[in-house]
């Protein structure tokens, strides 16, 4: 009869390893990043991004900060990795410049239609925006999927081909110097 001790040792090791992995993994949930928008559109910025604290974990943001809360952030997308032992988890959040997605002053009239849109989106501006305006379409993660510099004298009508964009929610951002205007649209 063969000795079954090596098999028992291997099985005991595997069971212990699976128990340990399950225990550590249970302590590493997916990270939800909470952001506060920066009210300053250029340095010094004051946006923040934070995640729940995981006891014993180390943190690394893509800008080099090493705490659960990153501070002094300008507009952009920030990602974090939390590591506990040999296991890690991460998350991503986008900080915008301004007080929100709809920070449009009373004298600005920017219309996107149809909304929701399928293959084409029409942009009509009757606003205080003058001169060169940087026009950016951002996906829900804040990544730029389309950019263009346009000239406006306060009135503009433009057609945008969105047929290549996947279905989802997008923000159209207009920046003229220190003024930022954002509008949302849905691509079906």
- pLDDT tens-digit series, residues 101-133: 333 333 356 788 888 889 998 888 776 556 677
The answer to pTM > 0.85 is no
pLDDT at 174 over 60: yes
- Per the CB < 8 A criterion, the answer to whether 90 and 82 are in contact is yes
User: Which among 45, 77, 46, 42 is positioned nearest to 62, based on CA atoms?
Assistant: 77
Q: How far apart are CA 120 and CA 124, in angstroms?
A: 13
pLDDT of amino acid 3 = 57
Angle of CA points 121, 127, 130, to nearest 5°: 105
Q: How far apart are CA 179 and CA 29, in angstroms?
A: 39
pLDDT at 18 over 50: no
Q: Long-range contact list for 66-73, CB < 8 A, 24+ apart? A: 71/46, 72/44, 72/45, 72/46, 72/47, 73/35, 73/38, 73/45, 73/46, 73/47, 73/48, 73/49
- Per the CB < 8 A criterion, the answer to whether 186 and 139 are in contact is no
pLDDT at 96 over 60: yes
pLDDT at 24 over 50: no
Sign of the Cα pseudo-torsion (70, 99, 29, 81, in order): negative
pLDDT of amino acid 178 = 56
């Amino acid at each position: 009869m063969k000795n079954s001790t090596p098999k028992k040792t291997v099985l005991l090791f595997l069971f212990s390893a699976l128990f340990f992995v399950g225990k550590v993994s249970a302590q590493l949930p997916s990270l939800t990043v909470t952001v506060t928008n920066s009210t300053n559109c250029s340095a010094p910025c004051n946006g923040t991004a934070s995640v729940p604290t995981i006891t014993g974990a180390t943190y690394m943001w893509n800008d080099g900060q090493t705490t659960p809360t990153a501070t002094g952030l300008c507009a952009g997308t920030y990602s974090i990795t939390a590591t506990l032992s040999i296991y890690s988890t991460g998350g991503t959040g986008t900080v915008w410049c301004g007080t929100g997605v709809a920070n449009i002053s009373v004298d600005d009239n920017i219309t996107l239609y149809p909304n929701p849109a399928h293959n084409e989106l029409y942009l009509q501006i009757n606003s205080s925006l003058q001169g060169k305006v940087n026009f950016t379409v951002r996906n829900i993660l804040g990544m730029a999927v389309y950019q263009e510099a346009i000239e406006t004298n306060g009135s503009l009508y433009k057609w945008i081909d969105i047929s290549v964009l996947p279905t989802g929610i997008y923000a159209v951002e207009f920046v003229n110097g220190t003024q930022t205007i954002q509008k949302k649209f849905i691509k079906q």
